[in-house]
Amino acid sequence: MVQLLSSDTLFPPLEEALLDPNGLLAIGGDLSTERLINAYQNGIFPWFNEDEPILWWSPDPRMVLYPKELKISRSLRKSINKNNYHIRTDSQFAAVMQACAAPRKNQPGTWIHPEMVAAYTALHEIGLAHSVETWIDDKLAGGLYGIAMGKVFFGESMFSRKPDASKIAFVYLVRQLLQWDYVVIDCQVKTAHLASFGAREIPRAEFSQILTTWAKPKALEKKWDFSFMNE
């Protein structure tokens, strides 16, 4: 049975998450910074529609990408080698979230509604949530956002306004995380898109152990600055 959370209730053990729908663990609570930090450290994330109560998830298995296992297709490599873009970080975090929330084909609504934007912007302001952005002709063409804790990056969403723009941002993210000795990138659930980059599923228990060892945020993180120019 899914636990109902109040504003001060702790999350139940991950083993209590439902099998169907896969990973539903709890309902309710709030999106305070403290709760979100606790959730991500324990492999839990919120995902719900605007007209629903807050739903908390921890699916089993978990989709992850180990930075060393990144795969880049031949066509994407050609896009990366072009000279028509540059990468920025944390320069337009709210704009990236809003772009990720924009309507998409075969998707009637979005889970990135104002309550989520406010909550993750608060995380961004204390240096835990970050955006990686692809700019073309001085316009935001694509990008992604997520949360960094310790040596783990929790990917949330990405968008593209130009071909391969979000993929380019993702490749630069992975390359930088590899330089910073990050252990894993959380991709949450399996998609063909993520699998094409080399992401794979691992048992939730294994993911939880990784977080216990590596997802330890500093007292105060900072904004990222690894801007790249493709010249």
What range does the domain containing 136 cover? 63-229
Are residues 99 and 39 part of one domain? no
Are residues 133 and 37 part of one domain? no
Final residue of a domain: which of 59, 76, 99?
A: 59
Q: Is the dihedral of CA 200, 131, 219, 27 positive or negative?
A: negative
pLDDT at 221: 63
Are residues 43 and 67 part of one domain? no
pLDDT at 126: 92
Structurally, the chain folds into a number of domains equal to 2
What's the average pLDDT block by block, 10 residues per block, for the chain (231 residues)? 87 96 96 96 94 94 98 96 92 95 65 90 94 96 96 96 96 95 96 96 98 81 65 37
Report d(CA 174, CA 182) in Å as an integer: 9
Final residue of a domain: which of 59, 80, 104?
A: 59
Q: How many CB atoms lie within 10 A of CB 168?
A: 26
Are residues 73 and 36 part of one domain? no
Domain CATH code at residue 154: 3.40.630.70
Q: What is the pTM of this model?
A: 0.93
Report d(CA 159, CA 199) in Å as an integer: 18
Domain CATH code at residue 33: 3.30.70.3550
Provide the H-helix boundaries in 62-219: 74-80, 93-101, 114-125, 165-179, 192-195, 204-214
Are residues 96 and 42 part of one domain? no
Are residues 151 and 93 part of one domain? yes
